[in-house]
Chains A and B, each alone.
Chain A
Amino acid sequence: MSRVRSYNLIAIAVMLTASSALAHHSFAMFDQSKSVTLQGTVKDFRWSNPHVFIQLLVKNDAGNEDEWSIEMTSPEHLARVGWKPGAMKPGDKVTLVIHPMRDGSTGGQYLSGTGPDGPFAGSPTPSGEGK
């Protein structure tokens, strides 16, 4: 289940005002009823605000490489559960579980993953608890 409490500011603002503008930081583009496992090679690990991104090269059915954009939470939140800016490096072979984009484009929301040194911080263990 995807959890999105970090962006509750939008809800507060919408509930308090009638102004109209775009609502940012939504997770609406992800299909949170689906989980997809990707195996690929890290092209870039972008430790950036407001959210960290993993750019992942994944072979498609035709044998060509697609570049996926996998979104995570903020650097501050990742650091609080043990992530570091160098947790992934270009060339790393990784397996990631994501909620995919609703529109079928090559992107998703990070859920958990395993890299060359084992499960990444915060990844669920078989008991269901975070690492």
Chain B
Amino acid sequence: MTLRRLTLAAAVLLGCLSVIFVAAMGASAGMPDWSGQWENVGGTPDASGGFNQSLDQVLKTMQWGPPNRPELQARVDKMVASERKRLEAISRGEDPGGVDVRACTFGYPLLMLDSPLMFEVLPTPKETTLIFSSREIRHVYTDGRPHTPKDELWATPWGDSIGHWEGQTLVIDTIAVKSPFASSESEGVAVMAFGDVEGEQTITILSSQAHFIERFRMLDKDHLEDQMTVIDPTSFTAPWHLSRTYQRVTHIHRMVYEDCEGEERNPVVNGRFTLAPPPAEKPLPATAPGGAPPAPSPAPQ
């Protein structure tokens, strides 16, 4: 009898604990499981620093075709011609001058469209967070708030994002995006696509008024999809629809930092790039017998 009562009490207790546990875990209840690391389909790197898709493949995948206004197209044509001259100098091994870009900051929307970075997506009821290996983070607030009021808002490379759920699809609305590269907002936000050969690239420029709507969902257990619409009457004659598919990263199952700020490896000597490997790492300090840390050095006199 006592045993039965104990068993019954244990079952009741377990049930109560289960209810408490489910309540405590309510933050993820009903949310899609998008755990893991993701990368652009075609964006798997190789050991030499390259990737696996030609520009044509990338453009087809992205559904590239920005409806540029004539004045923007003229600006783009001029930029492309200038970039071609720079690349010709590089192909001769010369330093054509340029911009010191040592931080791995891609900014939005390039992070989603054609970056070589892996990322994680963490959906919760009130916010979905996208974390990239460059340590760039997108916060998408889904708690019902509107965009930040204009008098409190300033543009950033990742914009101001709010969202809502339509079933298992996260609909994201983003405004107030600025380029991490441009020296002023009037220079706009670059959207580029790159092929697998240096110089194979194309570009368009969005204005600071660009408005982005994304539909983010899981296609199957190994693929996510982002369908993006860019509304930018300053730049385009019509909304621009793009798409990207992401696949699970293989071989590594944790986030690591993609750090572009390490040692300078390409010092320019007499106007030409050279190669300078990083110094060998210093060995760790020896550990004393028994696992105790080494004795501290005497304080300087």
Q: Note whether A and B form a binding pair.
A: yes
List A residues at the B interface (Cβ < 8 Å): 1-17, 19-29, 44, 46, 48-51, 53, 55, 69, 71-83, 99, 101-103, 105, 107, 109-112, 120-123, 130
Inter-subunit contact B47/A78 (CB<8 Å): yes
B46 adjacent to A11 (CB under 8 Å): no
Given contacts A1-B197, A46-B278, A105-B275, contact A23 B95 (CB under 8 A): yes
List chain A residues, Cβ under 8 A from B273.
Answer: 26, 28-29
Residues of chain B at the chain A interface (Cβ within 8 Å): 39, 44-52, 79-80, 82-83, 86, 90-91, 93-102, 104-106, 110, 114, 116-118, 133, 179, 181-183, 187-188, 190, 192, 194-198, 201, 203, 205, 249-252, 256-266, 268, 272-278, 280-281
Q: What are 21 A-B residue pairs whose CB atoms fall within 8 Å in the complex?
A: A2-B50, A3-B52, A3-B197, A4-B198, A9-B106, A12-B110, A20-B97, A24-B102, A25-B101, A25-B260, A28-B94, A46-B277, A50-B102, A73-B46, A74-B258, A76-B117, A76-B258, A77-B47, A77-B258, A81-B45, A99-B48
A13 cross-chain contacts in B, Cβ below 8 A: 98-99, 101, 181
Partner of B275, one of A3, A69, A82: A69
Among B94, B100, B257, contact of A76 (Cβ-Cβ < 8 Å): B257
| Of the residues A1, A8, A20, A25, contact of B201 by C-beta under 8 Å | A8
Which of the residues A26, A49, A80 comes within 8 Å of B261, measured between beta carbons?
A49
Contact A73 B262 (CB under 8 A): no
| Chain B contact surface mostly | loop
Which of the residues A12, A20, A80, A111 comes within 8 Å of B39, measured between beta carbons? A80
B265 and A71 contacting across the interface, CB-CB below 8 Å: yes
